[in-house]
C-alpha cells in the first residue's frame, strides 16, 4: 500500500451508520485529533459528524451544522436522505454529496466536516475550514518601494483568490491536480484560456502526471521534476510570492502553478531576460526602470568576471597593465604566502560563508555578523599579510554586484569559481573560452518548448523592448513572441 487516500478507492459506505463509523475509526485509529460526534437529527434520526480538531471553524460548524441538525423537525418514522438534509436542514454555504471514499477522506483531512447518516450509502461534505494562516504581508525577498504590498500565503485557496482579484475575467481557468502518494497535495494550474498555448499546457500536464513521489511540501519539488535541463545552473521555471507578478505573467499567456502549503508560485515558460527584471520596473518611470535594469546586466557581468579577469591579469598578463598599477599590485602582494588564484578562491568562499551565516542568523545578529566579518576580519587579514588588498577589493566588489541579480546568485557563484580556475590556468584565453561556452549554452536552453533567449533571436526594438530596458507603455503593444495572440494593446 502507498499509504495515500487512493488506497481506499474500492471502499464504499454500507448505509449502516454504526458499521461505517467503525470503518473510519479503523482508518484513523492512531490519529489523536480525529473527532466523531453523534447527533440525532430532530431528536429522531442518528447521524455522525467526522472532522479534524484544529482544522475546522468551530463557531461556524456549531451554527450552520450542529444547531441546524438538532433543531430540525422530522415527521414520525421519516428517515431523511442526504439530499433532504443538504437542501432543507443545513445552513452551510457549501455542501457536497459523494459516494467516493477517497473524497470523504480528503474532505476530513482538509478541514471539512463529513456527515454520514442512517440508511444513506453516500456522505455529505460540508465546508467548515477554519485553520489559521500567516495573513497577507509583503514578501521579504521581493520588497518594492512603490507598488502593491501583498504577498501569497501558504493556503492555496487564499492565493487563488488573490489572483482572481487581479484578473476579474471568466477567462481565468484553474484546474486541480493532486500529486504525492501520501501527501496528496493539491496543485492548481492557472492560465487564461484565450491566451495559453494548448501544446504547452498539454506538455505541462504530461510532466506533472509523471511525478511519482511520496509527498510535495514545496513548489520546488515540482520545479525540479518538470524543468528542462535539470542539471543546468540556470533555472527554466520562474517563481514568485507576489500575486501582481503572477497576474502579469498570465496576461502574457504563461501558466502558473499554485501548490498548497507554500507561498511560492511557479510560472512558465521562463526566459533568461526575466532574471534581470524587477517587480518595481513596471511601477516607476520607464527611464529610471531602464537605468536599473542596465545596471543589473552590468552587475551580472561584473560578479562573474572581475575576480577571474583580475587573477588572469596579475598571473599571466601583468605586462599589459599600466606600469604604476602593476608596481602597486606587486608591492601589495609581496609577502603574501599563497598564489593569487588560491587567494581569490578562499575569499570567494569566505564571502559566501559570511552571506549564508548572515541569512541564517537572527536578523539583528545577522547584520552585526556581516559588518564584523566584512570589515574587521578583512582588514585584519590584509594587515597580517595573509591576503592582499587588491584581490580583496576585486572579490568584495564582485560579491556586492551579485546582490543586484538575486535570481542568479547560485549560478553566479559557480560561474565565478569556474572562471577563476580557467583564468588561473590559461589566462585571459580561459575567460574567453568559458564566456563563449556559457553564451552558447544559454542559447541552447529551452523552457517548455520556448527558446530561453527568444527575445534575442531576431533582435529588433519590438523584441528587445522589455529586455535590456523597459520601454514606455505606449510601445508595449505586443506580448512575448511565444504567444500566438500577440496584441496586448490597441489594434
Indicate if the alpha-carbon torsion angle 261, 262, 265, 266 is positive or negative: negative
Question: What is the C-alpha to C-alpha distance for residues 142 and 158, in angstroms, rounded to an integer?
Answer: 19
Residue 194: the pLDDT is: 87
Question: What is the C-alpha to C-alpha distance for residues 66 and 61, in angstroms, rounded to an integer?
Answer: 6
> Would you place residue 393 in the very low, low, confident or very high pLDDT band (cuts 50, 70, 90)?
confident
Name the residue with higher pLDDT: 313 or 460: 313
Q: What is the mean pLDDT of residues 200-205?
A: 92
Lowest-confidence segment of 99-113, 194-208, 316-330 by average pLDDT: 316-330
User: What is the average pLDDT score of the chain?
Assistant: 86
With a cut of 80, say whether residue 16 has pLDDT above it.
yes
C-alpha cell belonging to residue 341: 588564484
Q: Which SS3 state, helix, strand or coil, does residue 442 take?
A: helix
End-to-end CA distance of the chain: 58
The DSSP symbol for 300 reads H
Which range scores top for mean pLDDT: 2-6, 127-131, 264-268, 470-474? 264-268
Nearest by Cα to 129 from 49, 56, 34, 52: 56
With a cut of 90, say whether residue 333 has pLDDT above it.
no
Residue 379: phi and psi, rounded to 5, are -65, -40
CA distances from 255 to 249, 404, 434, 452, 484 (A): 7, 27, 33, 16, 14
Element containing residue 41 per DSSP (H, E): strand 34-41
> Would you place residue 368 in the very low, low, confident or very high pLDDT band (cuts 50, 70, 90)?
low
> Would you place residue 279 in the very low, low, confident or very high pLDDT band (cuts 50, 70, 90)?
confident
pLDDT digits (tens, 9 = 90+) for 123-156: 999 999 887 777 778 887 788 878 888 889 888 8
Q: Where are the beta strands (DSSP E) in 220-348?
A: 238-240, 255-259, 265-268
Whole-number percent of the chain with pLDDT over 90? 33
Question: What is the C-alpha to C-alpha distance for residues 275 and 467, in angstroms, rounded to an integer?
Answer: 10
pLDDT digits (tens, 9 = 90+) for 250-276: 998 899 999 998 999 999 999 998 899
C-alpha cell belonging to residue 317: 598578463
Residue 1: the pLDDT is: 58
Q: Where are the beta strands (DSSP E) in 308-353?
A: none
Query: Residue length, the chain?
Result: 491
Give the residue extent of every domain in the chain.
Answer: 5-126, 140-270, 286-444
Question: What is the C-alpha to C-alpha distance for residues 274 and 282, in angstroms, rounded to an integer?
Answer: 13
> Would you place residue 410 in the very low, low, confident or very high pLDDT band (cuts 50, 70, 90)?
confident
Neighbours of 403 (CB within 10 A): 12
pTM across the whole model: 0.86
Nearest by Cα to 259 from 193, 171, 164, 179: 179
Amino acid at each position: 500500500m502507498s499509504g495515500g487516500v487512493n488506497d481506499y478507492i474500492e471502499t464504499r459506505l454500507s448505509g449502516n451508520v454504526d458499521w461505517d463509523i467503525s470503518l473510519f475509526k479503523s482508518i484513523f485509529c492512531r490519529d489523536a485529533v480525529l473527532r466523531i460526534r453523534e447527533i440525532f437529527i430532530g431528536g429522531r434520526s442518528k447521524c455522525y459528524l467526522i472532522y479534524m480538531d484544529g482544522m475546522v471553524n468551530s463557531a461556524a460548524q456549531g451554527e450552520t451544522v450542529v444547531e441546524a441538525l438538532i433543531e430540525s423537525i422530522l415527521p414520525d418514522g421519516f428517515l431523511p436522505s442526504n439530499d433532504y438534509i443538504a437542501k432543507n436542514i443545513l445552513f452551510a454555504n457549501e455542501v457536497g454529496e459523494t459516494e467516493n471514499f477517497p473524497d470523504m477522506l480528503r474532505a476530513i483531512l482538509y478541514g471539512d466536516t463529513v456527515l454520514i447518516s442512517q440508511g444513506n450509502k453516500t456522505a455529505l461534505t460540508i465546508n467548515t475550514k477554519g485553520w489559521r494562516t500567516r495573513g497577507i504581508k509583503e514578501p521579504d525577498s521581493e520588497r518594492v518601494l512603490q507598488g502593491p504590498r501583498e504577498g501569497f500565503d501558504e493556503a492555496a485557496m487564499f492565493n487563488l483568490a488573490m489572483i482572481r482579484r487581479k484578473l476579474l475575467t471568466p477567462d481565468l481557468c484553474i484546474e486541480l491536480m493532486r500529486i504525492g502518494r501520501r501527501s496528496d497535495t493539491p496543485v492548481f494550474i492557472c492560465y487564461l484560456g484565450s491566451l495559453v498555448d494548448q501544446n504547452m499546457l498539454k506538455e505541462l500536464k504530461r510532466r506533472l502526471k509523471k511525478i511519482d513521489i511520496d509527498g510535495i511540501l514545496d513548489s520546488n519539488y515540482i520545479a525540479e521534476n518538470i524543468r528542462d535541463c535539470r542539471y543546468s545552473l540556470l533555472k527554466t521555471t520562474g517563481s514568485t510570492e507576489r500575486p501582481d507578478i503572477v497576474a502579469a505573467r498570465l496576461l502574457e499567456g504563461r501558466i502558473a502553478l499554485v501548490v498548497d502549503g507554500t507561498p511560492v508560485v511557479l510560472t512558465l515558460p521562463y526566459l533568461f531576460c526575466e532574471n534581470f527584471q524587477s517587480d518595481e520596473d513596471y511601477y516607476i518611470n520607464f527611464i529610471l526602470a531602464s537605468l536599473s535594469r542596465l545596471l543589473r546586466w552590468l552587475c551580472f557581468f561584473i560578479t562573474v568576471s572581475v575576480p577571474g579577469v583580475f587573477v588572469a591579469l596579475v598571473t599571466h598578463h601583468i605586462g599589459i597593465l599600466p606600469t604604476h598599477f602593476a608596481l602597486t599590485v606587486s608591492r601589495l602582494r609581496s609577502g603574501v604566502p599563497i598564489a593569487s588564484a588560491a587567494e581569490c578562491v578562499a575569499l570567494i568562499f569566505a564571502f559566501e560563508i559570511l552571506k549564508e551565516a548572515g541569512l541564517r542568523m537572527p536578523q539583528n545578529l545577522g547584520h552585526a555578523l556581516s559588518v564584523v566579518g566584512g570589515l574587521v576580519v578583512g582588514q585584519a587579514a590584509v594587515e597580517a599579510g595573509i591576503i592582499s588588498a587588491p584581490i580583496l577589493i576585486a572579490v568584495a566588489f564582485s560579491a556586492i554586484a551579485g546582490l543586484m541579480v538575486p535570481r542568479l546568485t547560485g549560478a553566479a557563484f559557480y560561474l565565478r569559481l569556474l572562471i577563476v580556475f580557467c583564468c588561473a590556468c590559461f589566462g585571459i584565453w580561459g575567460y574567453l573560452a568559458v564566456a563563449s561556452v556559457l553564451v552558447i549554452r544559454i542559447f541552447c536552453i529551452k523552457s517548455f518548448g520556448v527558446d530561453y533567449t527568444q527575445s534575442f533571436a531576431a533582435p529588433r526594438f519590438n523584441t528587445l523592448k522589455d529586455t535590456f530596458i523597459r520601454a514606455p507603455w505606449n510601445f508595449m503593444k505586443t506580448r512575448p513572441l511565444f504567444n500566438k495572440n500577440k496584441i496586448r494593446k490597441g489594434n
